[in-house]
A and B are shown apart, each in its own frame.
Chain A
């Protein structure tokens, strides 16, 4: 049984990683085909760094991801504090609304916002979809994840500490920052990271809500796949994948050390 599971797990991992391996191998293809490997070269990496459109949309993606994650974290954390202190129908109503973007299929969220934007923008001249609509839509689908990751931390903390601080004469805002925030910080940070990655990775919502010139990376990649496939995309994906891998390895090595230090 154990042997069987080992083989089985290896097969599943092979299934998950085979396409990734293919992407990486073909990024070094000296030919231009994604079907035949002709020899080793770095030409696609060179071309990648000459492709203004890709670099620009990568830059735009990062801007949108950072801004939307930060704004969503502020709104979402405040909301979690409010919701946590509420009771009854108000609380459940807010939680239900919060769940809508999580449960709804992405395409429905995307077109519903598109309808709103097209409707609003049609009343103004010279306005088009772009930075503003992308930022708004990303904040919207990010907020719920922040709320959902902060809320459990709030529930889990000892609420009395906060009131103790108040009793000792610390003003509410200051005691919130000094006492509450440190306790829910892990939730805030994981919400922030989740929002950032969701935003960076989003295709469907950006696809329906971006304009002529301001496009995020996944949308640009999609428009490139409609043309003859360029291995530049493989080079790009390989590089980004390598960056993530390194970041993950670093954070993974660091973790156990931290734990020991805490003890």
Chain B
């Protein structure tokens, strides 16, 4: 085992980093916790936590929508990630670019564009209307926007690439000879997938789930643009308490709600990592 590279003092090289992270990451986190447990006068209180209970329906709604969006992303992403990983090297590189390219357009503008598509007089409904009128029928139009379905659609649309790319990466790492071996030993296509490919892609799935779930549960713009501003999600609540759009600024309640979000995600990542380790060992054992 060789010694790692150092220049000068080890501590000196990490000093800018560690002091920066202390001042601008750890101190702000500590301030969030501090605000969550103090009243606006500055004394210690647990009152802010009761707001978490008050807003439990918002928490559940956010969780539900984020779960739904993550699940849909996973289902949509897997087949395309799989076929990408089986393609030639040149196609693979181009496909990665094609998947990433949409993220280069500002997400607000893209999300607004969905309004044009989904509105009552939008592209989909107009197209359907003209089809109906061809056959002499009447069509009122589907309600495609200003509801929760549209919020989920916005999440899926914005975060789908974050699911496709990690799954694709984990699938490319699978050794082709493993699949051949499985086939030689008599597994049919489905069993190869279930017993070899799927377990080996679990790390990709896990990181995809985290990368979709976290931004979904904390979004505060998508719900406003596509949901008609009717239902707040956790992100909207936090924004409201910090920027005071409802007339009252309250950092304390806002901090308490942010803390919940942090804890939720901490728990989620913990379980994910746990699951990841399990899958690695048992997945390896199954082959």
Which residues on A are within 8 Å of B, measured CB to CB?
5-6, 8-9, 12-13, 15-20, 22-23, 26, 34-35, 74-76, 78-79, 81-86, 94, 97-98, 100-101, 103-109, 111-116, 119, 136-137, 139-140, 143, 147, 154, 157-160, 162-163, 172-173, 176, 180, 201, 203, 208, 217-218, 221-222, 225, 229, 233-234, 236-237, 240-241, 244-245, 248, 252, 255
- Give the nearest-CB partner of B25 in chain A: A100
Q: Is the CB of A107 within 8 A of B221?
A: no
User: Cβ of B31 < 8 Å from any Cβ of A?
Assistant: yes
- Give the nearest-CB partner of B104 in chain A: A244
Which residues on B are within 8 Å of A, measured CB to CB?
2-8, 10-14, 16-18, 20-21, 24-29, 31-32, 35, 76, 79-80, 82-83, 93-94, 97-99, 101-117, 119, 121-123, 157, 160-161, 210, 214-215, 217-218, 220-221, 225, 235, 238-239, 242-243, 251, 254-255, 258, 261-262, 265-266, 269
Q: Is the CB of B105 within 8 A of A241?
A: yes
A104, A107, A217, most chain B CB atoms within 10 A: A107
- With a cutoff of 8 Å between Cβ atoms, the chain B residues found around residue A111 in the complex are 32, 238, 242, 254-255, 258
Q: Is the CB of A19 within 8 A of B114?
A: yes
Q: Is the CB of A18 within 8 A of B7?
A: no
Contacts A82-B13, A116-B28, A218-B106 hold; do A162 and B117 have CB atoms under 8 A apart? no
Q: Is the CB of B32 within 8 A of A112?
A: yes
Within the complex, the shortest CB–CB distance from B159 to chain A, in Å, comes to 11
Contacts A100-B25, A100-B29, A103-B265 hold; do A34 and B242 have CB atoms under 8 A apart? no
| A225–B225 CA distance with the chains assembled, in angstroms | 9
Counting from the closest, the 3 A-B pairs by CB-CB distance are A79-B17, A82-B14, A105-B218
- With a cutoff of 8 Å between Cβ atoms, the chain B residues found around residue A252 in the complex are 93-94, 97
- Give the nearest-CB partner of B76 in chain A: A12
Contacts A97-B21, A107-B239, A143-B20 hold; do A23 and B109 have CB atoms under 8 A apart? yes
Q: Is the CB of A19 within 8 A of B104?
A: no
From DSSP, what is the main secondary structure of chain B's interface residues? helix
| A74–B16 CA distance with the chains assembled, in angstroms | 10
- With a cutoff of 8 Å between Cβ atoms, the chain A residues found around residue B16 in the complex are 74-75, 78-79
| A137–B82 CA distance with the chains assembled, in angstroms | 37
Within the complex, the shortest CB–CB distance from B31 to chain A, in Å, comes to 5
Q: Is the CB of B80 within 8 A of A35?
A: no
Q: Is the CB of B24 within 8 A of A116?
A: yes
> What would 15 A/B residue contacts be, using CB atoms closer than 8 Å?
A19-B117, A20-B110, A20-B113, A22-B117, A23-B110, A81-B7, A94-B14, A94-B17, A115-B251, A119-B31, A159-B5, A173-B8, A208-B243, A218-B106, A237-B105
- With a cutoff of 8 Å between Cβ atoms, the chain B residues found around residue A8 in the complex are 79-80, 83
- With a cutoff of 8 Å between Cβ atoms, the chain A residues found around residue B83 in the complex are 5-6, 8-9
Q: Is the CB of B31 within 8 A of A105?
A: no
- Give the nearest-CB partner of B18 in chain A: A94
- With a cutoff of 8 Å between Cβ atoms, the chain B residues found around residue A79 in the complex are 13-14, 16-18
- With a cutoff of 8 Å between Cβ atoms, the chain A residues found around residue B21 in the complex are 97-98, 100, 140, 143
Within the complex, the shortest CB–CB distance from B185 to chain A, in Å, comes to 21
- With a cutoff of 8 Å between Cβ atoms, the chain A residues found around residue B218 in the complex are 105-108
Which of A76, A201, A225 makes the CB contact (< 8 A) with B112?
A225
Within the complex, the shortest CB–CB distance from B104 to chain A, in Å, comes to 5
| A127–B47 CA distance with the chains assembled, in angstroms | 33
| A116–B25 CA distance with the chains assembled, in angstroms | 10
- With a cutoff of 8 Å between Cβ atoms, the chain A residues found around residue B106 in the complex are 201, 217-218, 221, 233, 237, 240
Q: Is the CB of A16 within 8 A of B262?
A: no
Q: Is the CB of B101 within 8 A of A85?
A: no
Within the complex, the shortest CB–CB distance from A161 to chain B, in Å, comes to 9
Q: Is the CB of B123 within 8 A of A81?
A: no
Contacts A19-B117, A139-B20 hold; do A85 and B28 have CB atoms under 8 A apart? no
Q: Is the CB of A112 within 8 A of B31?
A: yes
Q: Is the CB of B113 within 8 A of A82?
A: no
Q: Is the CB of A113 within 8 A of B28?
A: yes
- With a cutoff of 8 Å between Cβ atoms, the chain B residues found around residue A208 in the complex are 242-243
- Give the nearest-CB partner of A176 in chain B: B7
| A233–B82 CA distance with the chains assembled, in angstroms | 36
